[in-house]
Copies of this chain bind each other. A is one copy, B any other.
């Protein structure tokens, strides 16, 4: 899948997809990602098994992550260059969202 289509199909990114990709700057396997996401969100976000393995399969098919190693009971992935471009794009969107949070925060007090 080319970069243009990737960005179109993955924007806006779901929170799940965002945290999976955030975990894959270091090579990790599915179960390791689940634990890492729990860590960085302070146990708030717990990914279901269907979510993680389904998403990883889809992301590999689309070329935003790649197989790093295939051990007996561990399939280890890492993010690709296209994946990094996508994440930079998503991070810009999240910054825009944050600007609007700060701007309109007082209206909800």
* With A25-B108, A107-B25: A94-B87 Cβ-Cβ less than 8 Å: no
* Chain B residues with CB under 8 A of A108: 25, 79, 84, 87-88, 91
| Residues of chain A from 42 to 62 with CB closer than 8 A to chain B in the complex | 44
A97 touches which of B15, B25, B84, B105 (Cβ 8 Å): B15
Question: What's the minimum C-beta distance from A102 to chain B, rounded to whole angstroms?
Answer: 9
* With A12-B15, A84-B108, A107-B25: A101-B91 Cβ-Cβ less than 8 Å: yes
| Chain A interfacial residues counted at CB < 8 A | 26
* Chain B residues with CB under 8 A of A75: none
A74 adjacent to chain B (CB < 8 Å): no
Copies of this chain, tallied across the complex:
2
| Residues of chain A from 84 to 109 with CB closer than 8 A to chain B in the complex | 84, 87-88, 91, 94-98, 100-101, 104-105, 107-109
A3 adjacent to chain B (CB < 8 Å): no
* Chain B residues with CB under 8 A of A25: 104, 107-108
A87 to B, closest residue via Cβ:
B108
